[in-house]
Structure 1
Amino acid sequence: MHPDIEAILSEQLIISVRQHPKLTTSIRYHARRGQLRHVLGGFYSTPEAADSFEVRVAAARAVDPNGVFVRETAARLTHWPELDVGQIHVAGARRHQVKGYRFERRTIAPELVTWNGHHYLSAPALTVLDLAAASGAAIISDALRRGVVTIEDLEEALRLNSWRPGVQQLAQLVRESRDQPWSELEREAHVLLRAAHFQDWVANHPVLIKGCLYFIDLAVPDLKLAVEVDGWQVHRTFDAFVNDRIKWNNLTLEGWTVLHFTAGTVADLVPQLQEAVAMLKNR
């Protein structure tokens, strides 16, 4: 391949006739021979790299320099680097769809746009809301558990997007997340407790035992009553299985009463918790 083209691709990942008119003949020649492959617009890359996330992002950025990467694309570029991204999502002044890309006409409040030194991105709170709108509340739980956003961040993003369709449903998910459930099963438990107007419980309660810091899923601290909500998705590794049992034993030895609930028994949470509270108060 022409050495100038190789040098440009090593730095920029993509190349176009418009940006490099002196290389027009060479670019078209290598494209005809299959040594370059069309990516987007007038931009080309090598056949080996053309489908990569990095090249597709570079092409979208070149086509719409002022566009803001949103949704899964923004998540991959920020807090979720392992996310598999099918379409590259870009918000901007125009709307069109090309295979592998979605350019959506959308105005984003300046407060919800960030710059990472290479690209404009939706802020993490908006990214999380966008993903939650499509995939449900588990996205919010995961982002809160990993410290990607706070409830205050999400509430501010909602305020700045009060016009968007489905905002009431998103607001409900955020309200249900105010005690920061770390799994969907914990979220369900929180909803049940609030609906029953159960008092004096806290979520993710920290307890220091023998130099180890544990977090109890739900606790009534004054009664040393602990509730562990055992969702398989969070506790599916062998290490997690072992560590949970060490935690439960240490809590018991420190005088905590520990109740366990799973997806199959969480419906019994409120009556059994009420029964445990009554029993502990009458000791």
Structure 2
Amino acid sequence: MLQDLLRDHDGVITLAHARLAGLSQDAVNRRVRSGHWRRCSRGVYFADDRPFTDAARVRAAVWAYGDAATATGLAAAWWLELTKYAPAVVEVTVPKVSNHPKRAGIRSRRRDLVPTDIVERRGLRVTKPALTIVEAAARRGGGMKIIDTAMQLHLVELRQLWRAHLQNKGRHGSPAARRLLQAADGGAHSEAERLLIRALRDAGITGWKANQRLGRWEVDVLFAAARVVVEVDGLPFHTAADDFHRDRVKQNEIALLDWQVLRFTWLDLTEYPERVIAEIRRAVERVHV
């Protein structure tokens, strides 16, 4: 039973688990003194015969704050496989009445989560996907990319994200999350246009005009001398099927008029603006080569 617990829990074990496996406090202490187990925090240990993985680090951080602690933010997003890399700092939410010391590599937040916002995955308490996505997106290093990925994978719907946000108003990052959801919920395209124009001006790129007619279409940005058109899209999950078809017809017709068309999304402009500017600059400067 002890080896099963260690295997299933990434080598991390609590004193309560050890006792369930038949170990006394003295037996646990002997393992710590011999170097077989490492003490991570009070009542939480790691069996040192294996690598201390990111999963072990996150699990040990959450369990350090007791049975009522829950992984939240980017830590929860990583645990639910919504992000590729584990965060350097593990966010843990504890009840308001908790009184725990600060620990290196852990950021604790005190608030009372309702049971319906919590799920257990691989033996660890984490916030449910909708709340996790909303909160992780508002964290530094999160952003719209998390929302975009979740929606494209059909893990949640936009209405579920709004519900999770509204049911947890007042939490850390709530205003930022609201702005992201508002952009996703109908305003992404216009906001993307503003971001593109601001990026062009900040980069000192000239020779363009916004909202110009080309054939039977109006294009977002047009570089007449270079015969380059730049189009921006809202978030992929927010684009209806008929809009998607219309955009492709438009792009093909413009290309047949011998114009180069560059397409960028709201996500491109918010997450990778340097790449967007580099591609535009390369396209418009070809005319001078």
Q: TM-score by structure 1 length?
A: 0.59
Q: 2:110 matched to 1:105?
A: yes
User: What secondary structure sits across from 1:37 in the alignment?
Assistant: strand
Which amino acid counterpart does residue 37 of structure 1 have in structure 2? Answer: R
Aligned residue number for residue 87 of structure 1:
89
Aligned residue number for residue 46 of structure 1:
47
Q: 1:144, 1:180 within 8 Å by CA — same for their partners in 2?
A: no
Residue among 155, 164, 167 paired with 1:160? 167
Per-residue Cα deviation, 1:116-166 (whole angstroms, up to 9, x for no partner): 463332122221222222233333333333333322122112211232355
- Report sequence identity in percent: 18
User: 1:72 offset after TM fit, Å?
Assistant: 1.8
Q: 2:254, 2:261 within 8 Å by CA — same for their partners in 1?
A: no
User: What secondary structure sits across from 1:156 in the alignment?
Assistant: helix
- For the residues of structure 2 that align with 1:48 and 1:83, how far apart are their CA atoms? 24
- For the residues of structure 2 that align with 1:86 and 1:162, how far apart are their CA atoms? 26
User: What secondary structure sits across from 2:29 in the alignment?
Assistant: helix
- For the residues of structure 2 that align with 1:24 and 1:73, how far apart are their CA atoms? 31
Q: Describe the shift of the 1:79–1:161 C-alpha distance in structure 2 as closer, same or farther (beyond 3 A).
A: same
Aligned residue number for residue 131 of structure 1:
136
Aligned residue number for residue 14 of structure 1:
12
User: What secondary structure sits across from 2:93 in the alignment?
Assistant: strand
User: 1:37 offset after TM fit, Å?
Assistant: 0.8
- For the residues of structure 2 that align with 1:17 and 1:114, how far apart are their CA atoms? 23
User: 1:45 offset after TM fit, Å?
Assistant: 1.9
Aligned residue number for residue 278 of structure 1:
none
- For the residues of structure 2 that align with 1:139 and 1:29, how far apart are their CA atoms? 44
User: 1:206 offset after TM fit, Å?
Assistant: 7.9
Q: 2:158 matched to 1:151?
A: yes
Q: Describe the shift of the 1:73–1:175 C-alpha distance in structure 2 as closer, same or farther (beyond 3 A).
A: same
Per-residue Cα deviation, 1:18-71 (whole angstroms, up to 9, x for no partner): 653854344323322322211222222222447323334444347522322211
- For the residues of structure 1 that align with 2:121 and 2:14, how far apart are their CA atoms? 24
User: What secondary structure sits across from 2:85 in the alignment?
Assistant: coil
Name structure 1 gaps, 5 residues minimum: 209-214, 227-247, 268-283
The total of aligned residue pairs comes to: 227
Q: Describe the shift of the 1:32–1:257 C-alpha distance in structure 2 as closer, same or farther (beyond 3 A).
A: same
Larger RCO, structure (CA 8 Å, separation 6 or more): 2
**Equivalence map 1:202-221=2 (5 Å):** 204=236, 219=247
Q: Describe the shift of the 1:48–1:151 C-alpha distance in structure 2 as closer, same or farther (beyond 3 A).
A: same
